Structure 1
Amino acid sequence: MASRPVRSARTARTAALAALLLAAGTGCGGQDGAPTAEVARQSAARDRIGTLSIHTAQGPRACTASVVQSPRHNLLVTAAHCVQNHRIGLLDGLVFTPGYRNGSTPYGTWPVRSVTVDPRWSAGDDPEYDVAFVTVDAVDGRQVEDAVGGNPLGTGQGFGLSVSVTGYPNESDEPITCAVRTSSQSATQERFDCGGYTDGTSGSPWVTEKGAVVGVIGGYQEGGDTPSTSYSVAFDQRIADLYRKATA
């Protein structure tokens, strides 16, 4: 579970992994009568969520990520498949843009420095470990959590939670959001039903009413095969252990 530095950009390799990521199922899919996500209104809490893109805020999109509280104030959480693929390795040149809307970057763009994933993800893209913690460099001497705040990590809270899920579809310059209740997909995976979570929304945080992140779109089917049912690895002891490694 050791952090691994992100290598400098290699255009061909970056483009190949980006194509794999953008083609991956990254959202919900589901049941008749499920709600549909709406455009998320701007708020301080939602500004902790942003895009992961390549090289610049306007570059090719990979996924969504969000700031979580950490001792060094420089940590994001997202899905592991957003940042690493077993066949190709780490995605190079990623940057995080919190609060991105319609080309605006109100808090700047934060280069990714390192990625922490479980070795079982590294070894074979095991969907039971599709979570990554990502550190970003300071910008103008300021850490990202000091700029936008961060959500606490919530582990061991079980299923049946009321959450809001906010993320960035690749085809949109504004985030979408949906208020839903989680349910069990399996003993180690959770789900929710809401339409609109298409490519780009992998890594979107599942935030409880108390502000804790208890999931990210990913895991089973890399987050979902259709736009109306989404999945996450259950945030249990596995994720608590990974967070400790990322912040050690």
Structure 2
Amino acid sequence: MIQRLPSRPERLPRARGRRASRILLSLAAVTALLGVDVSDALAEPPLGVTVTAAADARARRVGALFAGGLEGGHFCTASVVRSEDRDVIATAAHCLGDLENTYFAPGYRDGGAPYGLWKLTGAYVAPDWTDGRDPDDDIAFATVESVDDRQVEDVVGGFPVAAEQPADATVSVVGYPSREESPLYCANGTTLFSETQRRIECPDLSGGTSGSPWLVDGALAGVLGGYEDGGTVPEVSYSAVMGDQAVELYREAAVNG
């Protein structure tokens, strides 16, 4: 049974933190929400090189999570995903602490929130994370309030969601280190660290990048988190493999959020 959490008071310890065939989620209620998006046709840096993310459509859908507002400092990363009510974001479960005091700033850059500041209103977290912080369930979805009668997906768009990526899938990561005021971007091939954890080598993805979307062909295939809350060194990061439990969480948030 999926637990919808209105608020969790625990403090975050660190803000970073199956099959070989690719299967796009095929949920009847959310079919229209899925499908690979067209990414901007910009020159990408070499694999394994981290750069400042371009201010493009992809980066607009990714934002920083703040405690209490922009002045509170950002501690994690999240991204907008497609949903029926157009109000759902994806992040790491260990990023969702005090929802009453957490805000999402998509496209945050250089101290400004060009697409608004969106208050979190609810969370969808797996029971095994709530009960025992199982790293295999360190992926979660949250809803945000509307701003000026508009939903966040109407403003910046949203990523489709794709599960069960190949072991060697090439992943793009966009995230906000806590000490940076602009998002970083890196893409590289991945390997399976275990049957339930994916590994990528990208430099400089330090504290604050937890919850960063792992994108395969423009679709969300995981978030930075999982093993060691996403990793203990900035050169190597992890994501829980998006399996059935994460699919159910997404369905709950996308349809009922």
The TM-score by the shorter chain falls in which range?
A: 0.7 to 0.9
Q: CA deviation at 1:21?
A: 3.5
Asked if structure 2 preserves the Cα contact closer than 8 Å seen for 1:58 and 1:103, the reply is no
Partner of 1:55: 68
Deviations 1:128-183 (A, max 9, x none): 10011010000000000000000001112232112210100001101101011121
Q: 2:119 aligns with which of 105, 108, 111?
A: 111
Deviation at 1:220, TM superposition (A): 0.5
2:240 aligned residue (199, 209, 233): 233
Matched residues, number: 225
> Residues 158-214 of structure 1, C-alpha deviation per residue, up to 9 Å, x if partnerless?
3211221010000110110101112101111101001101000000001122x1100
Tell me what 2:3 maps to.
Answer: 2
TM-score with structure 2 length normalisation? Answer: 0.83
User: How far apart in 2 are the matches of 1:52 and 1:180?
Assistant: 25
- Aligned pair 1:79/2:80, yes or no? no
Gaps of 5+ in 2: 18-46
Q: TM-score normalised to the size of structure 1?
A: 0.86
Q: Hey, what's the Cα distance between the residues in 2 that align with 1:91 and 1:114?
A: 7
Query: 1: CA distance between counterparts of 2:71 and 2:168?
Result: 37
Contact conserved, 1:57 with 1:96, CA < 8 A, in 2?
A: no
Alignment of 1:115-126 (within 5 A): 115-126=123-134
Task: Identify the match of residue 11 of structure 2 among 12, 17, 36.
Answer: 17
Q: Residues 71-118 of structure 1, C-alpha deviation per residue, up to 9 Å, x if partnerless?
A: 11000000000114xxxxx45400000000001211110000001100
One-letter identity of the residue aligned with 1:70: S
Q: Which residue of 1 aligns with 2:53?
A: 40
CA distance in 2, matches of 1:126, 1:70: 26
Alignment match of 1:188 (pick from 180, 196, 207): 196
Cα RMSD (Å) of the superposition? 1.6
Aligned to 2:230: 223
8 Å contact kept, 1:101–1:174: yes
Gapped runs of 5+ residues in structure 1? 8-12, 27-33, 85-89
SS at match of 2:246: helix
State the distance in 1 between where 2:186 and 2:153 align.
24
